[in-house]
Structure 1
């Protein structure tokens, strides 16, 4: 077999398909059949040797080079390929099996030589999370056209029908066809894996490429989608119909650019809903003798033949069996799932024998289940009938698969299902795929399996009936716990933790089981702890709070100090901090995690919890405590072999040093931290540390540049931080960049146009994601902007509103500067007594919190207010202004020094001490090496020129 890189570039034509070896894609007409890399390599290998038998060993070596896999992997891939190829109108067959030996491609082909492209870059595909749809839909073309038109004309379409009628298959095919119409993608939200309506918001958030760091996740999601054009596909809504209706209604009201497609057994009854009732496939009429070509005109028979041909080599419809195929489809009421399940047993009984057996079974079950609707009896009967035809080990494996609430890997199935001598679980799973009892998605690099909801319910009922559920749930809990632990500690952890979202359905199912009774609670505690990095990395903070709360409540007092409590408390503290604010609950949880980590000698988790606490202290305005905390963890980092932890510690310490007015040291550490993250973008920051420290470090850099008087570099650093934050898409990071080193610094530079744009974006992101502290901050910044534009009355109103709300959120490092801004507004409005109260409080709180970074400006503002109140000869005013200038010079804070010099010179000028005032300005302006076009510098320069032109006083 030639190496894949040495193969000639060709296109193979067979049936309605085109297979390109250069682009490695399979097309049916204009539609791309989405196959994973392994499936496409197998198909190319078979087509290139059409007519030859290609051994299983050769195919495994091609698809899994340098990797040992069990043969069942190949069986699954080939079974899925045969389904993807199906049969055309002439019942052509493509891949046949030689039992125990290999596979052969048997269809006629035409070969077109290709020119190898100079650059073989695949076209960008619209964003989506849709599983690969391998099965062709028989008899649904008209229904799809009608549904597409209805969804084009409306915003909500519900596909309604009985179990097994194909609602999900049709919805996914429709969604795939509409991908080009939605710039922001098409996203599948499967509600079938949860039983609690409270988890609907979390399932939505985990399916979408957004962050919803809000205590009200659903409103945060709606806000995040407000300006996007996308399609949401809600599958399996019926068991949570009220919750699904409420959630979908809120999303449609809050996000005008989205559309929603749902599948359910009943309508949602939401305003504007269009309902499409999906009928069973049309079947041949009874009492009419039809030949093979006639019965193939009915979609139900087309489906039966296609599925049978995928299992049985050389299967075809003949005069002898056409009538029996029609009978089977009639007996199954044209239900697609029932037909698939039945057709998969043609290999065992033939069409004639199958017709006799299925008729007997259906009649037997129909008599026993008269209380259920006819079509529900049909699918239940078909499943039960097929189940009874399995051997005992196959029945056991199918029952065990019912424990998975979501999709699963082959490795997980093998790990969870107890082994039996002489029985290979992987091979049995492959056989169940062939028998249409298990669905498979080979559209991605890692094959995942899933039971359809009706099959899952059937299997789980059998598992409970056999009293086997608890054993299997415990094994699945252990399996998923181990897998999530590997994700958090392995290479490429960011992508791994994001991909692990696929396991959250199983996590939720097991946690529900575990916390339903005390006897299984500790398994739930361990699983919740293992899931922490996944919740954090994917910003599922509300779900994180909910599950960690239940897990903490379930901790066994006898082992209260174990590692799980440490992890759960750390995660709980971080999640509460980002969603609910600087609460005592958050601080207590982080402190408890630190205590446990120290006791257990777990340095990494101690670092994580301590870093979280430092961020907490920064926000609360406890800068001295934050610096002390940073210094305590430096020894831990020095001994820990974890460069990311060292970089994050540098980021946190740089902020602490900045708040303590040690700007040069802060700038150096921030640069080092940012350089590490710039070259290690795959390091998990939010998942492990709760914060994007790369953006955090850039914020410190921008602030330090301004304080040091490097105004040009300030602007560049602000824009860089904004750009990186926007690229992450993380709302907290965007708000952080805009608030700390965007809006505030543009206002300080008096670039009012940039400030206005930044405020608008800041408020939009904060409101869209319900991040209340940042919403309150945006109000204060808007007030400052209005003041600089001369609008005193609205500026005062907004600043007072911001201060009131920030006080409740305990964001001292934001509210203290706004208090000084309010004092300036009141002084400008000729209300010096009120201004004095505000400026005195600002200065007092600055000193109390040791916010040395604010001290020069707090002194200056208080001096200006004293001068306004006491007149131009006020000694206290001059003292405060000179103190502001002296502190600025001592700190090396040239930015604050410029403001202080301007205020002091103005004060001296009013006393006609012009030469002294000019000397103050000349000394400060002479220190600048850049930023000469900045408004504050230009204004001060103009003031100096004016003093030179005056006569000495």
Structure 2
């Protein structure tokens, strides 16, 4: 018989309805004698003391009720601290929705007490429909709020209607007891079921488990009761009384609990059991609900307070913090910090509540910094809770102390892993320990068995979603395990073992990066970055105040840094790479270790280039790398250095210098037969030619590169050449195709660039595809909605992966879009972005940016500023050789003259623009220039001539007829012809 078979019924009141007081206010009715509060006839969950406090206030509505009076009312025979009153008042306000939608019920009179400020209608309960009463008097009052668990509580309730035994499973502090009590209260309110609650966590010996169950059911415990005897006694006592038995904290004496449950379910058809445990009971018919942590927001620096509060973990933190700090409110600036705190606490309810109670002492930002030492922050006692729930340490002690010594040892050892790990990695770590570890930690099958038991006991989390199972410890459990290592004077030893293993794993990753598909490589290795950080932190901790360290420690630190470089490059962690590479170079004897110095300097140069821009320091680092490569006669690093210097000059807008370096690169690649390098230099050469204005040769190089790249497209060359080359090639090709008059193909190429960049999961490649492909082409073809969408993607991406000057490029794109939409705010946005990029040495596309700024200034009426900016743009293009946009710059200059009503000057500029566009085979620029020239001619009576010339250019387009420039040209032709006829 399950709870599904039980029907609702109304219980009789405890006293004569005519004499029972009832208080009505707003949507609420309070029945003090029945310990019941209804909101719109639905029961509101409140503990007995909160009901007493509410009754005391409602009875004297409008009057001040002192703290002393309230404490005597709720705790008549107990001396309690004032903080207990505050906690219950906060829970009461929460239940009433006090402060929501402008409704106020309870006002605080500081230092004195509280006043009920909502009108109350009081009297005797008139004869009316009976009020349902829960038969759950044995349930303890909730000492915490229930947030984000509504669907879970409902789901477990549904399971209990279908199964007679449901176990809520999860690690300590996750909220199993709170959820179970809530489920039981809901069932008691909705069904004709008695509820009994047994706290098995209070049992100190397994032989007394039956006594605790008997006492919960209202029987006199018998010390000698066996499981069958207790089951028979309960069967007689509960006969005809459908009952839900809640067994809390079963894990300590799991075998004894399982035996009793098995016997009771067999003997008592009307019994259902709801258990909470850190491991399953493994009883016939058991249905397991594994409780997950509270919902957490994803990492984001732009997270708003409103959005953050939609996640249960943040909402719980804020609620608890507001109970400690009266005026606490979550601000937008603090929302990402609070979200980070909740993530670092794994969404564990107990940990979040304990951390939130420290806000009054430390504040949000200091608390975040202190979480590196979680147990210093989270050991504050939580009064009123069960002993095992009063501190985070107590909750974990409860699980740890119940483990056999070999499982304790394994859990301690595994705590040095920061990233998810495999069984193979766990076994390898234990092998690193050598003679220091027990024999059981060397035995791989033994480790597998113990690891499985730790998973079963909710101390290790298993991820079964991949081909190979990944394991991890929650951050709080990891911190606890490391504290245990520290207490046993083993922490330093195991951190060394972990660093050695991390170095071996990184070496394996480095050996695979050239030969394995990018997506596979990243899937297997990207999450090792957390272990890398931990290992490097330990390795460099031996550095003294003078920056020196002993030889073994130095060798370990340098070796780890070298091995981590490919991973940093693939994950675009350039700031992190800089930090550790600088430290490694500082302790390195560069004169005697030139090969190591070369590799470190090359990594520093790449990290500087992409994190801070084309600064003199980045250029010097690349030159130093090249000098070391030539001294070492290292062909690979000569290629990398020449590549880096080429990119350096490209970003500075020095395309002729870049082209010379690319020729040197090509000669080396051809000499060595390096197909990947040959393919990549085609892409880079095409980039230089594209900016220098030779679109025909640029297209030829790109198409050759892409056709040759197909056979090796699954290989990753990011660590060598910093970008996914296929994605970058499609991005460059999209611009070349648009310039040459193929708008539709340009849009397709931009889409391909973004698609291939996404496939790599490489942050820099994705940024590059969005800026130079998606957004740029959308602006060119007049797809402003698409540009807006691309910009939103770029901002979201950069919020997760902030990379140096790319935010400034994002701002520049935003400015261009706004200017195109005639939004004058774009002028200031673009001007500031240009200045920021200039400070970073990033001058790529400077002439085009300045041209757009001049156009915006002209449209706003600032013609003198517009002329000066346009002249600066033309001068920059001539000086740098970045002539790809020269035709457009001349057209913009002509438009400025037209606005000043100086047609001769305007005509000269338009004709120069048309000629320049034809010379560089830039049909799209030619169409724009001819359109501007056509408007000028039409305004001066030469409409027929203008229509003919413009139609000649338009007829050369074979695609893109729905794009903005072609539609404008077609509309102008029709207008010019119409005006000529008139």
Deviation at 1:531, TM superposition (A): 0.9
Kindly indicate whether residue 539 of structure 2 is the aligned counterpart of residue 514 of structure 1.
yes
Aligned equivalent of 2:428 = 412
Aligned equivalent of 1:348 = none
Aligned equivalent of 2:564 = 531
Q: Deviations over 1:169-200 (max 9, x none)?
A: 98999x99456996xxx89xxxxxxxxxxxxx
Deviation at 1:706, TM superposition (A): 0.8
Kindly indicate whether residue 354 of structure 2 is the aligned counterpart of residue 267 of structure 1.
yes
Aligned equivalent of 1:837 = 868
CA 1:897–1:252: 2 relative to 1, 3 Å: same
Query: In the alignment, is the contact (CA less than 8 A) between 2:691 and 2:882 conserved in 1?
Result: yes
Q: Deviations over 1:116-169 (max 9, x none)?
A: xxxxxxxxxxxxxxxxxxx99699799525269999xxxxxxxxxxxx9999x9
CA 1:894–1:478: 2 relative to 1, 3 Å: closer
Kindly indicate whether residue 944 of structure 2 is the aligned counterpart of residue 944 of structure 1.
no
Q: Deviations over 1:310-334 (max 9, x none)?
A: xxxxxxxxxxxxxxxxxxxxxx998
Aligned partner of residue 928 in structure 1, secondary structure: coil
Kindly indicate whether residue 913 of structure 2 is the aligned counterpart of residue 828 of structure 1.
no
Aligned partner of residue 617 in structure 1, secondary structure: helix
Aligned partner of residue 684 in structure 1, secondary structure: coil
Please show how residues 187-206 of structure 1 align to structure 2 within 5 Å. Answer: none
CA 1:430–1:684: 2 relative to 1, 3 Å: same
Deviation at 1:556, TM superposition (A): 1.2
Within 1, Cα distance between the matches of 2:828 and 2:964?
Answer: 26
Aligned equivalent of 1:500 = 525
Within 1, Cα distance between the matches of 2:382 and 2:467?
Answer: 34
Within 2, Cα distance between the matches of 1:636 and 1:834?
Answer: 48
CA 1:742–1:471: 2 relative to 1, 3 Å: closer
CA 1:732–1:139: 2 relative to 1, 3 Å: closer
Query: In the alignment, is the contact (CA less than 8 A) between 1:710 and 1:929 conserved in 2?
Result: yes
Deviation at 1:772, TM superposition (A): 6.4
Q: What is the aligned length?
A: 661
Query: In the alignment, is the contact (CA less than 8 A) between 1:707 and 1:896 conserved in 2?
Result: yes
Given candidates 385, 399, 403, the residue that maps to 1:340 is 403
Deviation at 1:950, TM superposition (A): 5.5
Larger radius of gyration: 2
Aligned partner of residue 872 in structure 2, secondary structure: helix
Query: In the alignment, is the contact (CA less than 8 A) between 2:506 and 2:563 conserved in 1?
Result: yes
Deviates more, 1:542-551 or 1:753-762: 753-762
Please show how residues 141-160 of structure 1 align to structure 2 within 5 Å. Answer: 144-146=176-178
Query: In the alignment, is the contact (CA less than 8 A) between 1:873 and 1:911 conserved in 2?
Result: no
Given candidates 580, 584, 603, the residue that maps to 1:551 is 584
Within 2, Cα distance between the matches of 1:578 and 1:170?
Answer: 50
CA 1:398–1:864: 2 relative to 1, 3 Å: closer
Query: Any unmatched runs of 5+ in structure 2?
Result: 1-166, 184-248, 253-275, 281-287, 315-329, 368-377, 390-394, 544-548
Given candidates 762, 778, 800, the residue that maps to 2:831 is 800
Within 2, Cα distance between the matches of 1:933 and 1:141?
Answer: 60
Query: In the alignment, is the contact (CA less than 8 A) between 1:574 and 1:586 conserved in 2?
Result: yes
Within 1, Cα distance between the matches of 2:594 and 2:250?
Answer: 52
Deviation at 1:554, TM superposition (A): 1.6
Deviation at 1:477, TM superposition (A): 7.3
Aligned partner of residue 693 in structure 2, secondary structure: coil
Query: In the alignment, is the contact (CA less than 8 A) between 1:280 and 1:334 conserved in 2?
Result: no
Within 2, Cα distance between the matches of 1:939 and 1:725?
Answer: 33
CA 1:143–1:883: 2 relative to 1, 3 Å: closer
Aligned partner of residue 852 in structure 1, secondary structure: coil
CA 1:880–1:334: 2 relative to 1, 3 Å: closer
Within 1, Cα distance between the matches of 2:538 and 2:801?
Answer: 32
CA 1:646–1:246: 2 relative to 1, 3 Å: farther
Given candidates 786, 791, 803, the residue that maps to 1:754 is 786
Query: In the alignment, is the contact (CA less than 8 A) between 2:293 and 2:346 conserved in 1?
Result: no
Within 2, Cα distance between the matches of 1:475 and 1:672?
Answer: 45
Aligned equivalent of 1:710 = 742
Given candidates 858, 862, 865, the residue that maps to 2:893 is 862
Q: Deviations over 1:889-927 (max 9, x none)?
A: 111110111112223333444554556544532442232
Within 2, Cα distance between the matches of 1:798 and 1:736?
Answer: 20
Aligned partner of residue 614 in structure 2, secondary structure: coil
Within 1, Cα distance between the matches of 2:802 and 2:937?
Answer: 48
Deviation at 1:339, TM superposition (A): 2.9
Deviation at 1:727, TM superposition (A): 5.3
Deviation at 1:490, TM superposition (A): 5.0
Query: In the alignment, is the contact (CA less than 8 A) between 1:822 and 1:838 conserved in 2?
Result: yes
Within 1, Cα distance between the matches of 2:819 and 2:411?
Answer: 70
Deviation at 1:863, TM superposition (A): 3.1
Given candidates 915, 923, 938, the residue that maps to 1:886 is 915
Deviation at 1:851, TM superposition (A): 0.5
Kindly indicate whether residue 649 of structure 2 is the aligned counterpart of residue 617 of structure 1.
yes
CA 1:868–1:495: 2 relative to 1, 3 Å: same
Within 2, Cα distance between the matches of 1:707 and 1:567?
Answer: 40
Aligned equivalent of 1:898 = 927
CA 1:477–1:918: 2 relative to 1, 3 Å: closer
Within 2, Cα distance between the matches of 1:525 and 1:172?
Answer: 43
CA 1:678–1:178: 2 relative to 1, 3 Å: farther
Give the structure, 1 or 2, with the largest relative contact order (CA under 8 Å, sep 6 or more).
Answer: 1
Given candidates 624, 627, 631, the residue that maps to 1:595 is 627
Query: In the alignment, is the contact (CA less than 8 A) between 1:860 and 1:884 conserved in 2?
Result: yes
CA 1:945–1:637: 2 relative to 1, 3 Å: same
CA 1:891–1:226: 2 relative to 1, 3 Å: farther
Given candidates 875, 879, 884, the residue that maps to 1:848 is 879
Deviation at 1:429, TM superposition (A): 5.6
Aligned equivalent of 2:903 = 872
Deviates more, 1:512-521 or 1:902-911: 902-911
Q: Deviations over 1:439-482 (max 9, x none)?
A: 688856657899975665555776769x9789968865764564
Aligned partner of residue 812 in structure 1, secondary structure: coil
Deviates more, 1:679-688 or 1:735-744: 679-688
Deviation at 1:342, TM superposition (A): 5.0
CA RMSD of aligned residues (A): 5.3
Deviation at 1:659, TM superposition (A): 1.1
